Chain A
Amino acid sequence: MEQNPSPVVDIDHLSLNFQTYRGAVQALDDVSLQVRPGEIVGLVGESGCGKSVLAMSTIRLLPPQGVEVPSGRISVLGRDILASSEAEMGDFRGHQASMVFQEPMNALNPTIRVGRQIVQVIRRHESVSQEQATARAVELLREMQVSDAERIMRNYPFELSGGMRQRVLLAMAFSCNPRVLIADEPTTALDVTVQAQVLALLRTRASERGVSVLFITHDLAVVAQLCDRVYVMYAGKMVEEGSTRDVLKAPRHPYTRALLRSLPEFAEPLHPLASIPGTVPNLIAPPGGCRFRPRCAHAFDKCLKQPPLEPGPDHPEHKVACWLPEGTADAAQADTAEPETRRQTGETLMRLDQVSVRFDVGTNWLGKPRGQVHAMTDVTLDIRRGETIGIVGESGCGKSTLAQVAMALRKPSSGKVQFDGQDLSAVEASAERQLRQRFQIVFQDPQSSLDPRMPVWSLISEPLAVRERHPRSWLKARAGELAETVGIRADQLDRYAHEFSGGQRQRIAIARALALSPDLLVLDEPTSALDVSVQAQILNLLMELQRNLGLTYLFVSHNVSVIRHIADRVAVMYLGEIVELGTAAEVLDDPVHYYTRSLIASVPRLDGDARTGAAAGFTELPSNLSLPKGCFFADRCPARTGGCEKRQVLAPAGAGADRLVRCHLAQG
């Protein structure tokens, strides 16, 4: 270690507690981390592991109230962060060390033009004139591949897309030539194609400018694409550290191994995923010894003592905090058996026929709409009984609108929706009520989709209670049965939603959706708000329920790997249209539409050749206020030719009768 140049970020045995009225939360416990000059270092872990706290502490951004640091040092570029005055830190932040955050939507002040926000930072740290600072800001935006930088300077944040805002924030972070950049999940809220562009940008700009980066993420595949070294955190402890290659290819800590195995990429499609039993410990009273011990399959008596983070005999740079001898393999638990066949008859359960949805936007002073958003255009889709049909696409592609239409929550502007042969728009109110019982929805965020003031038994049984009068005892008993099917103990039903973890809340939401014994479940990004190990549990539960109850799923997600794992058939949406439709293997392993290809290529891969993320030219998604005349994707398509000015039709690709594509180049 001595021959390495001295680290630019050196966090040394840092412990940090938050004082709460329930006691001290030990958010960081004896954590060490180094970033060497020019390195990109990843810091991964699931929610609540302390990675963001560590990132914020690095430039002392945590509010001082209630935070105590019992031990440890933080040194950034030789500055003792914990001993510096607030004024010194003000000069330091944004100048020598800057930070970008997760939610580009909220990270810029909504009432100030973005140009002024960048200029303000430049002028805070350097005595330059307004004109010089403005010129520099324009230059920075250009470097971040913002075409038309002068115009963007005059925009307010709400006028920009998420990707564009993150470019502005990166320009701001790079504006005073910092030597250290701390990036806290900067691409998590972005679509994959935008994420790929932003990551490539971050990587090239950092290396050109010699900036060292501490990159915080929950996404192991992003680490694989971007980072030189990686640290893995669990429950406020550092559990593993090493080169990205070592840690991801040959993980040594049982937690890292379990985390990797719970990724859908690691299992055969439709097979159960490996998940980590139990939940993250409460950090007010963490388990003694190794904090992963209660969930670890290999725990033995020695684990009651805290293992140190130490290199293995053969791996001087690959450290792990675990007592297990090197080379302990996980018990073979790979499920190689074919998944039980489900009852798939091929019979159509729901049919969307030429469905279009348009919204009015903006009104003039007499209240007349000024334009229309084309949220969904001519979508025709058969959902077959017993199958899982996946809908993938990026924000604004119309996938959530499709889910709403399928739930009869939104009336199509044109076209028909049939459920089990009955036209939803033509049936009478009472019949519609009967039909509605047969399709139910599970939303993305179980945090906000469950009423915080209702006990769980009431949440689960409410769909029953609103239809017919039932005695309370009957409802409670029924809620108990439903809870058991989703893995919630019936004795917990008097609690409220906030007393459960995110994964458990999503189980409750699923139980509620099952209350009326529906045929079709619409799953709108059901695992997007969850950590990967919890995501694995929920996906397993959904697959099990489908087998046992013969459910049909309409599974909407932006996550290609999740869809690949759980779906039988997949529809890819772009700008309100289905551009490709076929079996999951066909569409996602061998895409033919150029949009699907670019989507798949943007997905970060664990095994992908690291750092090849193509820095494709940046183009913004066309507005769905005025749709392009011909192919919607033509403007961004690498294979654009003569026939693309014509409106494209969804037609079979080659001989495969079941696979449809909306591209004249791929049809034949």
Chain B
Amino acid sequence: MSLANIIRRRLLLLILVVFGVTLVTFAISHMIPGDPARMMAGERASDEIVEKMRENLGLNKPVAVQYAIYVGQIARGDFGTSIRTQRPVISDIKKFFPATIELALAAMLFAIIVGVPLGVISAVSKDRLIDHLSRSISVVGISTPAFWLGLLMILVFYGQLGILPGSGRIDGVIGPPTTITGFYTIDAALTGNWPAFKSAVQHLILPGLTLGFLHLGVVTRQIRSAMLEVMSEDYVRTARASGLSRRQIIYGHALRNALIPSITMIGLAFGDLLYGAVLTETVFAWPGMGAYVVQSISSLDFPAIMAFTVVASTAYVLINLFVDLIYMVLDPQIREVG
């Protein structure tokens, strides 16, 4: 199956997923006790005002009609108005969501860049000191709470050493770069705004490490076990019997095959990163979706919650589409069979 076919099929799937998500969130929002009109109008508003509000929001129409209106709005990029902030939800999302994605990607990048080599080294020197060391790092990474690690990082690198910033996305003096993608690092690089780029990268380091540390452990363990399995495959024996060097065997033959199962896991872990960033964002005063969503939930801000769910699901499906493409690059058989 060709690449184009896979992408086409996945995009078709994406539409179905988004449709499903809207259906579920919409249904839940109508089943949860609590009256959005009353919430919006305020505690002391008279029944008449609440009724008027209900009419404005379209809440007195039949449920099916409400859903059709809702989907139609989403299709036009309109997620309604936030009950809490009174701004269009889409503008809030545009503001906060790229920050979360940028942080998640930075964390993932760190986990992969460090975790993959660590896993490989650990596997090829199984049961030796370096293996025990890397496995200890994994366990510590998996079991350390992010907020504690974050506070520790701030204390050391910002408080004691003063070499890295401990909060926010960018230096207030420099200010955010011109918005293109909403990712400060990419926008700064695209506009050639190097001071902003440097500052944005510096701000990413500590929260990125904090959030990535957990996944570092997961990636290391995954790569280690996949490598151990692959190293006992017949084709590795063939490579050894042909006199190939250890380097050629490990990096040329084994790693590529070991990455195949690991890539899937990394794609799935990205979901955790999206939803799990809340604590890290809070610790580093990172203006991402975490705090926004928590506040929206506590104030039953349905338009905002639903918008976040739809956008996050879409991002998740897109990331996994991307993962599948990598998968196809690594494994020729997938390319063929689809």
Write the residues of chain A forming the contact surface with B, with a CB cutoff of 8 angstroms: 59, 61, 89-95, 98-99, 101, 103, 106-112, 120-121, 124-125, 156, 158-159, 169, 172-173, 362-366
Which residues from B are CB-within-8-Å of A99? 241
Which residues from A are CB-within-8-Å of B257? 109-111
Q: A91-B243, A110-B333, A112-B253 are in contact. Are A363 and B238 (CB under 8 A)?
A: no
Q: Is B43's CB within 8 Å of the partner chain A?
A: no
Residues facing A in B295-338 (CB within 8 A) are 330-333, 336-338
Q: A101-B234, A111-B256 are in contact. Are A365 and B6 (CB under 8 A)?
A: yes
Q: Is B252's CB within 8 Å of the partner chain A?
A: yes
- A90 near B245 with CB under 8 A, answer yes
Q: Which of A59, A89, A101, A124 contacts B238 (CB 8 A)?
A: A101
Q: Which of B235, B237, B241, B242 contacts A110 (CB 8 A)?
A: B235
Q: A90-B245, A109-B257, A362-B338 are in contact. Are A158 and B333 (CB under 8 A)?
A: yes
- B237 near A101 with CB under 8 A, answer yes
Which residues from B are CB-within-8-Å of A364? 1, 5
Residues facing A in B1-39 (CB within 8 A) are 1, 5-6, 8-9, 12
- A61 near B241 with CB under 8 A, answer yes
For the complex, give the distance between the alpha carbons of A110 and B234 in Å.
Answer: 11
- B337 near A94 with CB under 8 A, answer no
Q: Is B137's CB within 8 Å of the partner chain A?
A: no
A537 to chain B, nearest CB (A): 30
- A362 near B245 with CB under 8 A, answer no
Q: Which residue of A lies closest to B330 (CB)?
A: A111
Which residues from A are CB-within-8-Å of B246? 90
For the complex, give the distance between the alpha carbons of A120 and B249 in Å.
Answer: 11
- B238 near A108 with CB under 8 A, answer yes
Given contacts A158-B336, A365-B6, 9 further A-B contacts (CB under 8 A): A90-B246, A95-B243, A107-B238, A121-B243, A124-B244, A156-B336, A159-B336, A172-B242, A366-B9
B interface, over-half SS: helix
Q: A107-B234, A158-B332, A365-B5 are in contact. Are A92 and B243 (CB under 8 A)?
A: yes
For the complex, give the distance between the alpha carbons of A156 and B337 in Å.
Answer: 13
Q: Which residue of A lies closest to B233 (CB)?
A: A106
- A124 near B245 with CB under 8 A, answer yes
Q: Is B52's CB within 8 Å of the partner chain A?
A: no
For the complex, give the distance between the alpha carbons of A365 and B5 in Å.
Answer: 6
Q: Is B61's CB within 8 Å of the partner chain A?
A: no
Which residues from A are CB-within-8-Å of B9? 365-366
Which residues from B are CB-within-8-Å of A110? 235, 257, 331-333
Query: Can you report 10 A-B residue pairs in the complex whose CB atoms are below 8 A from each other?
Result: A90-B243, A92-B243, A94-B243, A107-B234, A109-B235, A120-B242, A120-B248, A124-B245, A169-B238, A365-B8
A98 to chain B, nearest CB (A): 7
Q: Which residue of A lies closest to B9 (CB)?
A: A365
* Chain B 203-245 near chain A by CB (<8 Å), digits 1 or 0: 0000000000000000000000000000001110111111111
For the complex, give the distance between the alpha carbons of A173 and B241 in Å.
Answer: 9
Q: Which residue of B lies closest to A111 (CB)?
A: B256
Q: Which residue of A lies closest to B242 (CB)?
A: A94
Which residues from B are CB-within-8-Å of A107? 234-235, 237-238
- A109 near B6 with CB under 8 A, answer no
- B240 near A61 with CB under 8 A, answer yes
A227 to chain B, nearest CB (A): 21
Q: Which residue of A lies closest to B5 (CB)?
A: A365
Which residues from A are CB-within-8-Å of B239? 109
Which residues from B are CB-within-8-Å of A159? 336
- B241 near A156 with CB under 8 A, answer no
For the complex, give the distance between the alpha carbons of A112 and B243 in Å.
Answer: 17
